[in-house]
Amino acid sequence: MHEMGIANSILDGVAKELRQRPGSRAVKVGVRIGELAGVDPDALSFAFEALTLDTPLAGLVLDVEYRAPRSRCRDCSREFEVRNFELLCPGCGGVNAECISGDEMEFAYLEVEEDEPCAAGRKSSE
Amino acid sequence: MNRVPLEGKVLNENARVAAELRERFREHRVLVVNLISSPGSGKTTLLEKTLESFSAAERVSVLTGDLQTENDANRLKRYGFPVKQITTGGTCHLDARMIEKHIADWDLDKLDLLIVENVGNLVCPSSYDLGEAAKIVLLSVTEGEDKPLKYPSIFFKSELMVLTKTDLLPYVPFDAALAIENARRVHAEMEVVRVSCLTGHGMQDWLNWLEQRKHAFLAGLPETVA
Ligand SMILES: Nc1nc2c(ncn2[C@@H]2O[C@H](COP(=O)(O)OP(=O)(O)OP(=O)(O)O)[C@@H](O)[C@H]2O)c(=O)[nH]1
Ligand SMILES: [Mg+2]
Ligand SMILES: [Zn+2]
């Protein structure tokens, strides 16, 4: 269950971003995870919920974009998405392709809401 | 509502430490390999046979990771080379910090090769870069030839697949050619050696691979300035 560690790192990333944005509340965090990253989607959601429960980040939504691996055909250079490791090239029909991506585990975005504008915030916007 | 872009890797702290380690290993010219497999595929046995085959002059050391017990380290210490156990106490993989901590009192200039045996687990260790030059996946012939497709992550990231326990091939319905084909579907460039630690068959292929990898590693380093 290394998803616990991964969920923890996602939350670290959120906390770091929030420190740059005082007065903001995180609503949703987006990450991109390749199918070759070795991460189980259900285990990750479970870990994420368990770690945020009863914390200031409770309710924070985790949006995971699971990405299929991509291959490049060595005969015709076409790049295509791989399903079930079928390496058949849609360009030339060859089977001489190599996987070029699919193990990524990256941050994508953070959705934040401004808290009730505080006195300091109001002053600076006037 | 305001959406702001976030950048960087999720495991960026591990990536940072791993990059530092990789730089140190390059500087001190130490080839580091990271052995990964399911529990019981034969990592420690392969290391026992490997250390046994080395002359006392070989500048090799081993880090071996397990959830619990010092058993693997005790098995490996018999050969006289430096061996340290990393007991993770429940964590299902090694991470870069653990490596950093456990090599702290080793003089890297006295080493040419560091072999890391990861915790027995075919999934989790693949997510954690340890600063190694190469990941190596072991698959024993009793595990089934579909494993590269079921656990593609580690096969994608490994340079070499060691097919272990080949002495058992007569007793199990395992199609080695299909296993290799499956591994190469995930990773077209996958190199393969077949080894039986029981009979010694294929051991020399494995040792040759290590030796060649060491040369390739050194050849890839910038010339040391005199
Ligand atoms: N028949 C046969 N058995 C083997 C071979 N290599 C290892 N074994 C047996 O497989 C079992 C597990 O081997 P280990 O070397 O402990 O496996 P491991 O991958 O280090 O296991 P963990 O560290 O617990 O994940 C032992 O009983 C070994 O004797 C082999 O080549 N042939
Ligand atoms: Mg072992
Ligand atoms: Zn093509």
For B113-134, write each residue's pLDDT tens digit. 999 999 999 999 999 999 999 9
Tally DSSP H helices, then E strands, for chain B. Answer: 8, 8
Q: Do A10 and B154 touch (CB under 8 A)?
A: no
Give the domain range for residue A87: 2-113
Query: Is A51 a member of any domain?
Result: yes
Residue type, B5: P
At A54-93, the pLDDT tens digits run 999 999 999 999 999 999 999 999 999 998 888 889 999 9
Query: Is A44 a member of any domain?
Result: yes
Whether A109 contacts chain B with CB within 8 A: yes
The whole-chain average pLDDT of chain A stands at 89
Query: Is A123 a member of any domain?
Result: no
From B35, B36, B45, give the residue whose CB has the most ligand 1 atoms within 8 Å, as the site to mutate: B45
Chain B interface, best mutation among A19, A44, A62, A85, by max B CB count within 10 A: A85
Chain centroid, CA B89 distance in Å? 20
Instruction: Say how many Å lie between the CA of residue B45 and the centre of ligand 1.
Output: 5
Query: Is A59 a member of any domain?
Result: yes
Instruction: Say how many Å lie between the CA of residue B138 and the centre of ligand 2.
Output: 11
Q: Do A114 and B11 touch (CB under 8 A)?
A: no
B42: tokens are 């034969």
Q: Whole-model pTM? A: 0.91
A71: tokens are 């291959």
Instruction: Kindly tell me if the per-residue pLDDT of A120 is higher than 70.
Output: no
Q: Do A13 and B127 touch (CB under 8 A)?
A: no
Rounded to whole angstroms, the Cα distance separating A17 from A10 reads 11
Closest Cβ opposite residue B187 in set A21, A40, A99: A99
At B39-86, the pLDDT tens digits run 999 999 999 999 999 999 999 999 999 999 999 999 999 999 999 999
Reference B167, options B197, B127, B188, B212; nearest CA is B197
Residues of A in contact with B37 (CB under 8 A): none
- Delineate the domains of chain B, giving CATH numbers in brackets: 30-219 (3.40.50.300)
What CATH number does the domain containing A26 carry? Answer: 3.30.2320.80
For residue B104, the number of C-alpha atoms closer than 13 Å in the C-beta half-sphere is: 7
Environment class of B112 (CB within 10 Å of its CB; exposed 0-12, middle 13-18, buried 19+): middle
Whether B154 contacts chain A with CB within 8 A: yes
Query: Is A118 a member of any domain?
Result: no
Ligand 1 pocket, Cβ-based, cut-off 6 angstroms? B 37, 39-45, 66, 72, 120, 164-165, 167-168, 196-198
Query: Is A126 a member of any domain?
Result: no
- State which ligand 1 atom lies nearest to the alpha carbon of B199: 31
Ligand (nearest to CA of B138): 1
* pLDDT score of B226: 47
* pLDDT score of A119: 52
DSSP annotation of A125 reads H
Query: Is A57 a member of any domain?
Result: yes
Query: Is A122 a member of any domain?
Result: no
Please state the domain count of chain A: 1
